């Protein structure tokens, strides 16, 4: 019997309307457009405005976009896996909220938290449900409302992140297309350098934790940068090697959008020209779990059946990984 692969058969995405430019950040913190552009590659990012809106609201728009493009009913979805670092609530899982709001009444769902690598971890997890033959339509979402955990007095972090998200549909394929391989890694010792100090069970929220601004992203930028440059490039090279892929065999690299310099280190290590790399960091910044599906969403029309695509990410935890996909359809689907 032919092996069942999990093929991505549709992509959806959404970014909020509000555009926060570097010029606006210049009025909030002591920074300049020149510093942000040369150090990160970011020009603007999207921010979700409005009371009572969370990551699920971004995700629901992305899911609706996918379902409408693919022409399928929300009731057909079996499983929803949501990768997010900014869940709507501590509990219930954001996937539950998304299922409810998008009418996916027949699906069960859960969240995955692996920071910026979360989408790859969720994609690999979703793949197992398809490969086992148990499920036919699995939705994998990567979404974050990073503005909800940013300190807009800290110029080293607030300039990097933005809000947004995307999703992919996984379906069985027996012709050799789909998710072929994944290398995923974690190193918990890295948690010291990038985390949120309070709000979890170790340090529940108190007046003091709020006053001390411990519910915001804490990042030691340079340390994280060094680990990211090395590990994202290493893991991308590893997945090429073990799948016997040469640079010429690869149609696209889809890198996590944390810093243009980290992206460059990765594609240079892989021997790829910049034209083969999906880069939208200048418009969306770092949307954490949203970066990879947002790239696929933006580049979908350019993708061709049989394209070899490598996704790579690095994030808090530390977590990192790479996934090799043999793309399953031409252009914008259908
Ligand atoms: O996605 C999850 C994983 N995260 C990452 O991959 C992020 C990795 N880190 C980075 O991308 C970079 O480290 C940053 C973009 C966060 C910072 O860039 P950097 O080149 O590493 O800067 P730095 O932290 O070494 O700071 C250099 C200088 C410092 O000033 P002094 O001490 O040299 O006077 C900072 O205070 O730049 C200063 N600085 C700024 N200046 C203007 C820091 N942030 C800003 C700012 N505007 N926004």
pLDDT tens digits in sequence order for the chain, 334 residues long: 689 999 999 999 999 999 999 999 999 999 999 999 999 999 999 999 999 999 999 999 999 999 999 999 999 999 999 999 999 999 999 999 999 999 999 999 999 999 999 999 999 999 999 999 999 999 999 999 999 999 999 999 999 999 999 999 999 999 999 999 999 999 999 999 999 999 999 999 999 999 999 999 999 999 999 999 999 999 999 999 999 999 999 999 999 999 999 999 999 999 999 999 999 999 999 999 999 999 999 999 999 999 999 999 999 999 999 999 999 999 876 5
CATH code for the domain of 313: 3.40.47.10
Predicted confidence at residue 249, as pLDDT, reads 98
- pLDDT of 2: 82
Domain membership of residue 188 as a residue range: 180-333
Is the CB–ligand 1 distance for residue 38 below 6 Å?
Answer: no
State the Cα–Cα distance between residues 295 and 317, nearest whole angstrom: 23
How far is 323 from 180, CA to CA, in rounded Å? 8
pLDDT number for residue 273: 98
Are residue 75 and residue 119 in the same domain, yes or no?
yes
Last residue of a domain, one of 144, 159, 177: 177
Which of 177, 202, 234 is a domain's end point? 177
Domain end call among 160, 177, 194: 177
- Same domain assignment for residues 186 and 308: yes
Task: Please work out whether the CB of residue 258 comes within 6 Å of at least one atom of ligand 1.
Answer: yes
Nearest to 187 by CA among 240, 126, 230: 230
Give CA–CA dist 122/116, Å, rounded.
11
Distance CA 7, CA 149 (A): 34
The reply to whether 265 and 139 lie within a common domain is no
For residue 159, the ligand 1 atom closest to its alpha carbon is 48
Kindly state whether residues 163 and 220 are assigned to the same domain.
no
Cβ 39 under 6 angstroms from ligand 1: yes
Please check whether residues 315 and 187 belong to one and the same domain. Answer: yes
State yes or no: is 286 an active-site residue. yes
| Spatial CA neighbour of 115 closest among 151, 78, 161 | 161
What is the maximal distance between C-alpha atoms in the chain?
A: 62
Same domain, 94 and 210: no
Which atom of ligand 1 sits closest to the CA of residue 228?
6
Task: Report in angstroms the alpha-carbon separations of 50 from 35, 88, 148, 206.
Answer: 29, 14, 12, 25
Distances (CA, A) of 281 to 176, 192, 199, 248: 32, 26, 29, 25
Please give the pLDDT value at position 219.
97
Q: Can 151 be counted among the known catalytic residues?
A: no
Same domain assignment for residues 242 and 148? no
pLDDT of residue 306: 98
Whole-number Å distance, alpha carbon 213 to ligand 1 midpoint, is: 19
Is 256 labeled as catalytic in the residue annotation? yes
Which ligand 1 atom lies nearest to the CA of residue 262?
6
Ligand 1 pocket check for 158: Cβ under 6 Å: no
**Do residues 131 and 110 both lie within one domain?**
yes
Q: Do residue 10 and residue 46 come from a single domain?
A: yes
What is the distance between the alpha carbons of residues 234 and 239, in angstroms, rounded to a whole number? 9
Whole-number pLDDT of residue 326: 98
Both 148 and 196 in one domain: the answer is no
How many domains does the chain divide into? Answer: 2
State whether 150 and 11 are in the same domain.
yes
Residues 184 and 157 in one domain: no
Q: How far is the CA of 287 from the centre of ligand 1 (A)?
A: 17
pLDDT (0 to 100) of residue 332: 79
Q: Spot the catalytic one: 22, 286, 289, 308.
A: 286
Which is the closest atom of ligand 1 to the Cα of 156?
A: 44
Grouping H, G, I as helix, E, B as strand and the rest as coil, residue 14 is strand
Specify the pTM.
Answer: 0.97
CA of 280 to the centre of ligand 1 (A): 20
* Residue of 259, 282, 288 best suited for mutating to test ligand 1, as the one with most atoms within 8 Å of CB: 259
The pLDDT score that the predictor gives to residue 333 is 65
């Amino acid at each position: 019997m032919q092996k069942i692969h999990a093929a991505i058969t549709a992509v959806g995405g959404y970014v909020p309307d509000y555009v926060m430019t570097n010029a606006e950040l210049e009025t909030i913190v002591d920074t300049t457009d020149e510093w942000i552009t040369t150090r990160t590659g970011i020009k603007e990012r999207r921010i979700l405005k409005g009371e009572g809106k969370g990551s699920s609201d971004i995700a629901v728009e992305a899911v609706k976009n996918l379902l409408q493009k693919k022409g399928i009913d929300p009731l057909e979805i079996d499983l929803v896996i949501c990768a997010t670092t900014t869940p709507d609530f501590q509990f219930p899982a954001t996937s539950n909220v998304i299922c409810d709001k998008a009418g996916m009444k027949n699906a069960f769902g859960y969240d995955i938290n692996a920071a910026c690598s979360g989408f790859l971890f969720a994609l690999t997890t979703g793949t197992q449900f398809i490969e086992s033959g148990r499920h036919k339509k699995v939705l994998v979402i990567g979404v974050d409302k990073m503005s909800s955990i940013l300190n807009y007095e800290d110029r080293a972090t607030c300039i990097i992140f933005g809000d947004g998200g995307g999703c992919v549909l996984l379906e069985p394929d027996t012709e050799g297309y789909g998710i072929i391989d994944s290398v995923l890694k974690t190193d918990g010792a890295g948690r010291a350098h990038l985390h949120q100090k309070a709000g979890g069970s170790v340090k529940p929220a108190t007046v003091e934790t709020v006053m001390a601004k411990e519910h915001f992203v804490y990042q030691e930028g340079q340390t994280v940068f060094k680990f990211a440059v090395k590990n994202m490039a290493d893991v991308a090279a590893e997945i090429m090697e073990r799948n016997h892929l040469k640079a010429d065999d690869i149609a696209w690299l889809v890198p996590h959008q944390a810093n243009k310099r980290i992206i460059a280190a990765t594609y240079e290590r892989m021997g790829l020209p910049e034209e083969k790399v999906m880069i939208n960091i200048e418009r969306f910044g770092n949307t954490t779990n949203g970066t990879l599906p947002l790239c696929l969403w933006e580049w979908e029309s350019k993708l061709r059946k049989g394209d070899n695509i490598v996704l790579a990410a690095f994030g808090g935890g530390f977590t990192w990984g790479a996934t090799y996909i043999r793309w399953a359809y031409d252009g914008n689907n259908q």
